[in-house]
């Protein structure tokens, strides 16, 4: 019964959160991205070989997202591992991340990241129109004044990540 209650609460939180992300809302976009990134984790399963050491979230190109993630989640456990939020200043400095968040101002480096992580169990989250179709796992985009996200199922299959059907149903499948 506890398990069902937890699922209900989690789904309620996600529904309320996702349905209210208006791009013109009071919250800054970096806060919305940070909250969504952390909530995506709940709906994705990484392979067994990634479940030791730190759970690394690399942020490339957005200091505000880095600071928000670090402030809210830097001292927490993620999937049973200690969270490590890493600010990346150069694409070559990204090593063995569970998640890479690529800000729109660094999208010129997307192809380099994709080449390095395409078949690795790394969730690549972007914020630039068109990158979802080019191979990003999840891509933020604005639709009708609201923040939405695209999900590229084939990238999950290639990287050996399992995504919950609940998250797929909340996103825009591409």
Residue 135 makes CB contacts below 8 A (sequence gap 6+) with 110, 114, 118, 124, 152, 155
Sign of CA dihedral 27, 29, 31, 32: positive
What pLDDT does 162 receive? Answer: 97
What pLDDT does 150 receive? Answer: 97
Q: Residue 95 sits in a domain of what CATH number?
A: 3.40.50
Residue 163 makes CB contacts below 8 A (sequence gap 6+) with 43, 44, 45, 151, 153, 156
The pLDDT > 70 percentage for the chain reads 86
| DSSP code, position 22 | B
* Full residue range of the structural domain in which residue 21 is found: 2-173
Between 148 and 27, whose confidence is greater? 148
Q: What pTM did the predictor assign?
A: 0.84
What is the domain count for the chain? 1
């Amino acid at each position: 019964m506890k398990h069902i209650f937890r699922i209900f609460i989690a789904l309620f939180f996600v529904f309320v959160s996702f349905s209210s992300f208006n791009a013109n809302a009071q919250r800054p976009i970096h806060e919305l991205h940070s909250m969504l990134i952390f909530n995506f984790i709940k709906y994705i399963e990484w392979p067994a070989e990634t479940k030791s050491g730190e759970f690394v979230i690399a942020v490339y190109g957005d200091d505000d997202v880095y600071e928000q993630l670090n402030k809210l989640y830097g001292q927490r456990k993620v999937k049973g591992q200690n969270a490590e939020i890493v600010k990346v200043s150069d694409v070559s400095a990204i090593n063995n991340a569970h998640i890479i968040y690529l800000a729109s101002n660094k999208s010129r480096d997307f192809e380099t990241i994709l080449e390095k992580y395409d078949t690795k169990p790394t969730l690549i989250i972007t914020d630039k129109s068109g990158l979802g179709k080019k191979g990003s796992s999840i891509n933020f985009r604005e639709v009708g004044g609201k923040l939405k996200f695209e999900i590229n199922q084939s990238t999950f299959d290639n990287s050996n990540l399992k995504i919950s059907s609940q998250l797929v149903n909340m996103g825009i499948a591409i």
